[in-house]
């Protein structure tokens, strides 16, 4: 009976979403204030029922209700409680429900945060969010109902995919969805601007915190996924250019462009139509990602049960949402003109370059991801695009971007002089150059010119990001530094840290696959790995072979690692749990390969310098974003909007 309640709650939520989607938009068009006012309670009601439905599904997992097909397919009575809860979003149906819940949380937040916005504008934002929700609720109810019954009920469940039985992967999807779905809010703002034909650029200031918050969540979500892949897949790689990874990376690139473009629109009133296009594109790429992941049009390591029927549904939804948005854009955007100009050497020019390069980077990823599909569709045969393509082509737009970033950060709006800017950056540039050459020559072995350039770019970005905080420090006015400036400095510093980690790990990692018997040892660099023991371990729902490996640095024992090869009982699939000794400066990584008979195993041993900086950099970037959202400007924006509501409403309704 309880699962049916969950389904019933979803149906009610769909009805409320229809009300939220239709009434405020119709009200805004006909200036009917009653209709416009219905949006908010409808959204609140929808949230309550979606939450109820989500809790019902969670309850079914906690109670091991194997009469629900989705629970029977993705859980097991031996599964620990923590994973029974995370299993709720462990497969297609439940993750879709999570998606809808997250969308509702964003909608409610946008309504609460936007209560001071002009009534007409806000009604349209709420309406657009409602329509997006209608699409997803219809999708789940018509093609992917998580509450379908299994009659007769299963004795026990088929267990959660062992790959997902991991703490990082339990929180990775929610984080990622908060990022993906969050772009629905700037999208709704953009549509509202276009529908209204709104002149002025106050909307950019309203939209910016939402875009930034989504970007923060997406950054953390992607970083979590990368970290998980690193220690769980047993290869020691941190990014694979897999279609599903790319599906999350494209909105990230576009969202990054959007944040920067919003700054220009907010501060200088420029790039209006371009910013709107980016806002539409960022969310469109999120939807596109959903389509690519769920429809099975691409081959990926992510085993989402793909289904052409679901694929068709999302494609139609994608056509309606993105098609309508882009048509509206083509119709209304030409009116969004701005008359302000800027000199060739100005902050605007650098941000324009940033935007163009980020869009090129997005296209590089998009082309690589879709190439196999396009060639297959044209009857040109089967292709696959490997990491070589991405690694080689991706740096073409991103390297100049990193180099320009250090200058652009310190260039003034409107017009600036190279002489003035160079005073701020030349110390950092010289220092970065000297250090990059020194590191390439002295530290580790075997770097090339390209890695030296990469290290220079990383240090250059980091040092450039320090200029502003240091200037305020020298003046003794650290407390007066605006949070937005703090945010920018921190996020850019994080980017530099990330680049440093990525370049050094990719260039200087040492990797060795070796057959070892118990008692034997192998060495990587100055480290010696001794295979001490092999033993059986029993987990709650798996059995594992565990290796005991002692690591010696110049004869001194520094760590003991316990890599495992697990076999999960129900699905009988083998999983690798690597053993990692992590320090800020380097990781030592051991993964068990395959048994070679007797006590011998193939072992993968790796030395990965600075690999931690990759994720640390992402965390720093996210902190930067969070700090920037706290800036006074956005609080003042709210007061401004309150003050202007009567006038604004009068103008719009008059």
Partner 1 sequence: MWRYFLPIAFFVLLVGFFLRGLSLDPSEIPSPLLGKPAPAFELPSLDDPASTVGTDTMKGKVALLNVWGTWCGGCRQEHDTLMAIAATGEVPIYGLNWKDDPAAAREMLRQMGNPYVASGIDADGRVAIDWGVYGAPETFLLAADGTVIYKYIGPLNFGIWQQEILPLALQAKEQQP
Residue 392 token pair: 């080689």
Piece of 25-33, 113-121, 317-325, 468-476 that binds partner 1 (CB under 8 A): 317-325
Residue ranges of alpha helices (H) inside 233-271 are 243-268
User: Residue 199 to residues 161, 194, 326, 337, 427: CA-CA distances in angstroms?
Assistant: 51, 10, 19, 9, 43
Q: Output 111 or 385, the one with its CB closest to partner 1.
A: 385
| CA atoms of 162 and 228, how far apart (whole Å) | 13
Instruction: Name the burial class of residue 347, with classes exposed (0-12), middle (13-18) and buried (19+) by CB atoms within 10 angstroms of its CB.
Output: buried
State the DSSP code for 68.
Answer: B
Question: With binding defined as CB under 8 A, does residue 455 bind partner 1?
Answer: no
Question: With binding defined as CB under 8 A, does residue 315 bind partner 1?
Answer: yes
| CA atoms of 5 and 57, how far apart (whole Å) | 10
Piece of 171-179, 221-229, 327-335, 488-496 that binds partner 1 (CB under 8 A): 327-335
Question: With binding defined as CB under 8 A, does residue 376 bind partner 1?
Answer: yes
User: In angstroms, what is the minimal distance from the CB of 301 to partner 1?
Assistant: 12
Among 2, 11, 305, 312, binds partner 1 (CB under 8 A): 312
User: In angstroms, what is the minimal distance from the CB of 379 to partner 1?
Assistant: 10
Question: With binding defined as CB under 8 A, does residue 45 bind partner 1?
Answer: no
The CA-based diameter of the chain, rounded to the nearest angstrom, is 86
Piece of 371-379, 407-415, 527-535, 583-591 that binds partner 1 (CB under 8 A): 371-379
Piece of 74-82, 372-380, 404-412, 583-591 that binds partner 1 (CB under 8 A): 372-380
Question: With binding defined as CB under 8 A, does residue 326 bind partner 1?
Answer: yes
The pairing of beta strand 556-561 with beta strand 600-609:
unpaired
**Is-contact 109 209, C-beta < 8 A?**
no
Question: With binding defined as CB under 8 A, does residue 359 bind partner 1?
Answer: no
Residues 377-436 touching partner 1, rule: CB under 8 A, are 377, 382
Q: Output 296 or 525, the one with its CB closest to partner 1.
A: 296
- Residue 576, by phi and psi: left (phi above 0), alpha (psi -120 to 50) or beta? beta
Among 334, 446, 598, 654, binds partner 1 (CB under 8 A): 334
**Is-contact 185 106, C-beta < 8 A?**
yes
Residue 323 token pair: 């098609």
Residues 210-229 touching partner 1, rule: CB under 8 A, are none
State the DSSP code for 32.
Answer: -
User: In angstroms, what is the minimal distance from the CB of 351 to partner 1?
Assistant: 20
| CA atoms of 490 and 466, how far apart (whole Å) | 8
Piece of 366-374, 429-437, 534-542, 596-604 that binds partner 1 (CB under 8 A): 366-374
Q: Output 375 or 399, the one with its CB closest to partner 1.
A: 375
Question: With binding defined as CB under 8 A, does residue 630 bind partner 1?
Answer: no
User: In angstroms, what is the minimal distance from the CB of 282 to partner 1?
Assistant: 13
Coil, strand or helix at 532: strand
**Is-contact 280 322, C-beta < 8 A?**
yes
Q: Output 140 or 321, the one with its CB closest to partner 1.
A: 321
Contacts 24+ apart (CB under 8 A), 522-531: 522/603, 522/605, 524/588, 524/605, 524/606, 524/607, 525/607, 526/553, 526/554, 527/551, 527/552, 527/553, 527/588, 527/607, 528/552, 528/553, 528/555, 529/588, 529/590, 529/603, 529/605, 531/601, 531/603
- Phi, psi at 151, each rounded to 5°: -120, 125
**Mask of contacts with partner 1, 269-298, x by CB under 8 A?**
----x---x--xx--x------x---xxxx
Q: Output 226 or 261, the one with its CB closest to partner 1.
A: 261
Among 318, 393, 466, 481, binds partner 1 (CB under 8 A): 318
Among 241, 249, 329, 463, binds partner 1 (CB under 8 A): 329
Question: With binding defined as CB under 8 A, does residue 299 bind partner 1?
Answer: yes
| CA atoms of 619 and 602, how far apart (whole Å) | 35
User: In angstroms, what is the minimal distance from the CB of 280 to partner 1?
Assistant: 8
Question: With binding defined as CB under 8 A, does residue 373 bind partner 1?
Answer: yes
Question: With binding defined as CB under 8 A, does residue 374 bind partner 1?
Answer: yes
Residues within the interface to partner 1 (CB under 8 A): 273, 277, 280-281, 284, 291, 295-299, 308, 311-312, 315, 318-319, 322-323, 326-327, 329-330, 333-334, 370, 372-374, 376-377, 382
């Amino acid at each position: 009976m309880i699962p049916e309640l969950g389904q019933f709650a979803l149906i009610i939520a769909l009805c409320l979403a229809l009300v939220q989607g239709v009434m405020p938009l119709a009200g805004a068009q006909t200036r009917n204030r009653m209709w416009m006012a219905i949006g908010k309670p409808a959204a609140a009601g929808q949230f309550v029922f979606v939450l109820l439905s989500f809790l019902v599904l969670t309850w079914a997992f906690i109670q091991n209700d194997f009469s629900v097909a989705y629970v029977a397919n993705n859980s097991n009575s031996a599964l620990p409680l923590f994973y029974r809860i995370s299993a709720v979003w462990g497969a297609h149906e439940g993750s879709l429900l999570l998606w809808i819940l997250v969308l509702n949380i964003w909608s409610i937040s946008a309504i609460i945060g936007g209560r001071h916005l002009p009534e007409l504008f806000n009604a349209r934002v709420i309406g657009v969010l409602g329509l997006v929700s209608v699409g997803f609720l219809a999708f789940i109810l018509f093609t992917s109902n998580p509450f379908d019954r299994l009659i007769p009920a299963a004795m026990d469940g088929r267990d959660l995919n062992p790959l997902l039985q991991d703490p990082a992967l339990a929180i990775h999807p929610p984080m990622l969805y908060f990022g993906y779905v969050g772009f629905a809010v700037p999208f709704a703002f953009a549509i509202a601007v276009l529908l209204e034909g709104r002149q002025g650029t106050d909307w950019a200031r309203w939209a910016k915190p939402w875009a930034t918050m989504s970007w923060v969540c997406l950054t953390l979500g992607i970083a979590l996924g990368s970290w998980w892949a690193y220690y769980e897949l047993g290869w020691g790689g941190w990014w694979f250019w897999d279609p599903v990874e790319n599906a999350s990376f494209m909105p990230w690139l576009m969202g990054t462009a959007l944040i920067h473009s919003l700054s220009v629109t907010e501060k200088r009133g420029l790039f209006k139509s371009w910013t709107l296009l980016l806002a539409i594109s960022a969310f469109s790429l999120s939807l596109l990602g959903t389509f690519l992941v769920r429809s099975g049009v691409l081959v990926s390591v992510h085993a989402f049960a793909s289904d052409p029927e679901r694929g068709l549904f999302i494609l139609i939804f994608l056509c309606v949402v993105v098609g309508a948005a882009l048509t509206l854009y083509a119709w209304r955007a030409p009116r969004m003109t701005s008359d302000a100009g800027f000199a060739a050497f100005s902050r605007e020019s650098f941000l324009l370059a940033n935007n163009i390069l980020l869009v090129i980077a997005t296209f590089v990823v998009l082309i690589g991801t879709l190439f196999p599909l396009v060639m297959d569709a044209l009857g040109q045969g089967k292709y696959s695009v490997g990491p070589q393509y991405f690694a080689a082509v991706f740096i073409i737009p991103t390297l100049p971007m990193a180099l320009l970033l250090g200058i652009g950060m310190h260039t003034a709006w409107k017009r600036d002089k190279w002489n003035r800017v160079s005073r701020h950056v030349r110390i950092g540039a010289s220092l970065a150059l000297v250090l990059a050459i020194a590191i390439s020559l002295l530290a580790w072995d075997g770097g090339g010119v390209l890695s030296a350039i990469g290290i220079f770019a990383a240090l250059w970005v980091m040092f450039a990001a320090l200029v502003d905080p240091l200037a305020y420090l020298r003046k003794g006015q650290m407390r007066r530094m605006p949070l937005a400036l703090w945010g920018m400095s921190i996020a850019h510093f994080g980017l530099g840290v990330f680049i440093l980690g990525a370049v050094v790990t990719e260039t200087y990692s040492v990797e060795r696959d070796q057959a070892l018997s118990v008692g034997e040892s192998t060495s990587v660099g100055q480290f010696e790995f001794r295979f001490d023991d092999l033993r059986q371990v029993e987990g709650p729902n798996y059995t594992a072979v565990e290796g005991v490996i002692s690591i010696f640095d110049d004869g001194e024992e520094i760590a003991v690692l316990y890599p495992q090869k697990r076999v999960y009982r129900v699905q009988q699939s083998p999983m690798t749990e690597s053993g990692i000794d992590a320090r800020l400066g380097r990781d030592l990584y051991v993964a068990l390969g395959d048994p070679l008979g007797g006590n011998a195993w193939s072992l993968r041993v790796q030395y990965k310098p600075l690999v931690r900086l990759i994720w640390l950099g992402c965390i720093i970037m996210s902190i930067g974003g969070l700090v920037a959202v706290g800036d006074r400007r956005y609080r003042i924006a709210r007061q401004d909007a309150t003050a202007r509501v009567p006038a604004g409403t009068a103008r719009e309704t008059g």
